[in-house]
Amino acid sequence: MIVTVEKTDLPLLRELEVQTYQETFGDFIKEEDMEHYFAHDLSLETLEKEWENPESAHYFILHEGQPVGFLKVNWGEAQTEHELEDAFEIQRIYVLKSHQGYGLGKTLFEFALEKAVEGQFTWAWLGVWEKNFKAQKFYFKYGFERFSEHEYVTGDTVDIDWLLKKRIREEK
pLDDT digits (tens, 9 = 90+) for 47-65: 999 999 999 999 999 999 9
Q: Considering only CA atoms, which of 93, 159, 96, 85 is closest in space to residue 126?
A: 93
Three-state DSSP class for 63? strand
Question: What distances in angstroms separate CA 22 from CA 37, 52, 85, one per listed residue?
Answer: 11, 25, 33
pLDDT band of residue 170 (cuts 50, 70, 90) is: confident
Topology at the third CATH level for domain 2-125: Aminopeptidase (3.40.630)
CA distance 79 to 54: 12
pLDDT tens for each residue of 70-85: 999 999 999 999 999 9
Average pLDDT, the chain: 96
Task: Print burial letters for 13-41: b (CB count within 10 Å at least 16), e (below 16).
Answer: bbebbeebbbebbeeebeeebbebbbeee
Q: Looking at the predicted structure, is the pLDDT value of residue 93 above 60?
A: yes
Q: What is the pTM of this model?
A: 0.94
